[in-house]
Amino acid sequence: MNIYVGNLPFGITEAELREAFEVHGTVGEVKVITDRNTGRSRGFGFVEMDDDKEAEAAIAALNGAELGDRKIVVNQARPKSRDTG
């Protein structure tokens, strides 16, 4: 399951994000989204977990939890919408 993580502290690393989720199960890919021009975090990222039960447990446990100095938003990622027009 691909998990969206929002309201991340701007200084968070992918390793720190991985660590927060590994408590709840096996983590695949972790990506903190950065600005192309500045390289600075845009405040959100994605975590991939293969086991849906572990992913759901992580979402339930971490949504609204504090990471760094911010309350993060965690939910199942929606597929990218494609412009059909």
**Residue 70: how many CA atoms within 13 Å on its side-chain side?**
13
> Domain residue spans in the chain?
2-76
44-82: pLDDT as tens digits = 999 999 999 999 999 999 999 999 899 999 999 998 766
Q: What is the pTM of this model?
A: 0.90
Measured from the Cβ of residue 14, the count of other Cβ atoms closer than 10 Å reads 14
Q: Averaged over 11-34, what is the pLDDT?
A: 96
pLDDT higher than 70, residue 84: no
CATH for 2-76, options being 3.30.70.330, 3.40.50.620, 3.10.28.10, 3.40.50.880: 3.30.70.330
Q: Residue 47's closest CA among 84, 12, 11?
A: 12
